[in-house]
Amino acid sequence: MSRRQLFSLSLLALVALATGFVLADQVRTQLLTPSNQVARYQALVRSLQELEATNADSRRQIAELRAAIDALESTAAAQSGTTQALRNQVADLRTHAGLVAMHGPGVEIVLRNGVAGPGPGGQAGYLVNFQDIQDVVNLLFQGGAEGVAVNGHRISPLSSFSGPAGTVVIDQGNPLNAPFQVVAVGNRNQMEHLMGDASKLGGLRNRQRALGLALSFQGSPDLTLAPYDSALETRFAQPA
């Protein structure tokens, strides 16, 4: 065999060997690829499972938080409702006690002294007295008055009336003299009905006919009452 033939055979063997390595590497790669895909798939499945578990835990926490928020809102609403009810009661009590200004429909009554002469009540019968004012005020409250004032002095549930004939003292205030203006805010129609009822205020109406006491009233769509003035002047004690 010549040297040239020997070189050709050696070159052919090298080429065959290199080809074999390449084919073997390709086969190995093809054999490993499915295994890698399975591993990646399994890792992806584990990631999805972990993510689902995390999401489930988050949903549970969100549900717990929502339940807590609902409970807090219900408690706050109940407390708010109770607080508002108490505030309304306090406001009603303050209004009933005459501690707040008010305005609305009502009636205005004016009483004036009559003319001295014989008749019911003797010599002082022609003078408006504190019983007359008290009777008118009581009648107005009976007719649905929510607030009453006499000559600007707001009447409270504890107000007292006193004084000699022709003079009216309310609570511990200064003596008031005729003419007397009684203003009432509330059920205008009912108060007008009672004030116009001849069977009411019998003694006052008799003196009105006999001695000329003036008793008049009129309704109004909007009257205003000032709050009760607790800064009363003391009549029986003075500083030395």
Cβ atoms of 178 and 218 within 8 Å: the answer is no
Fold of 101-225: Alpha-Beta Plaits (3.30.70)
The domain spans of the chain are 1-96, 101-225
pLDDT per residue over 33-63, tens digit each?
A: 555 666 776 776 677 677 677 767 777 777 7
pLDDT tens-digit profile, the chain (240 residues): 555 555 555 555 555 555 554 445 554 555 445 556 667 767 766 776 776 777 677 777 777 777 777 777 777 777 777 777 777 776 666 666 678 899 999 999 999 998 876 655 557 789 999 999 999 999 999 999 999 999 999 998 888 999 988 899 998 888 999 999 999 999 999 999 999 999 999 889 998 988 889 999 999 999 999 998 765 444 433 343
When the pLDDT of each residue in the chain is averaged and rounded to a whole number, the result is: 78
- Tell me how far the alpha carbon of residue 3 is from its chain's centroid: 117
C-alpha distance across the termini of the chain, in Å: 158
Contact present, 114 and 144 (Cβ < 8 Å): no
| Residue for token pair 């109940």 | 78
Distances (CA, A) of 161 to 27, 45, 133: 120, 93, 8
